[in-house]
Amino acid sequence: MLVSQGFNLLAETGVVTDAVAIVQRFGRTQTALDDLGHRHDEEPLEVDVLELAVNAGADLSMDGVSSAVRAHSGDVARELLEYPLPDPDQIGVVDDQLDALAADVCVAGPNQ
């Protein structure tokens, strides 16, 4: 139910194709695990989903995902994995980083 609702919400954003790509990559990775018995050098699913969340949030709040946000969203996602969740103090650090990225985008203009 949550996945279905999530995709329903993502369908209204500019990152819906990113979500589909994540699901496809996850399926290929699971197939490779079954066939080869080990994980490839791909990012963990958690990083992909957190990066998608960052980009979806930017898309919803700024009506598009700028190249600056896309360039840093993977780093933000990997950093989020280092923090134990749901510790609000740690999430606040990432919020500050996202606020800084959003400020950079506002100064540079949308979709630049």
Domains in the chain: boundaries: 2-108
CA 56, CA 7: separation in Å to the nearest integer?
11
Provide the CA 91 distance to its chain's centre, in angstroms.
15
Confidence at residue 75, expressed as pLDDT on a 0 to 100 scale: 92
Residues in the chain with pLDDT values less than 70: 1-2, 32-43, 84-91, 105-112
Q: Global pTM?
A: 0.59
Task: Provide the pLDDT for residue 34.
Answer: 61
Helix axes 88-108, 45-62, angle to 10 degrees: 50
Rg of the chain (C-alpha set): 15
Q: What is residue 45's predicted lDDT score, i.e. its pLDDT?
A: 82
Per-residue pLDDT at 1? 58
* Crossing angle for the helix pair 16-36 and 2-10, to the nearest 10 degrees: 140
pLDDT for 72 = 93
pLDDT value for 87: 66
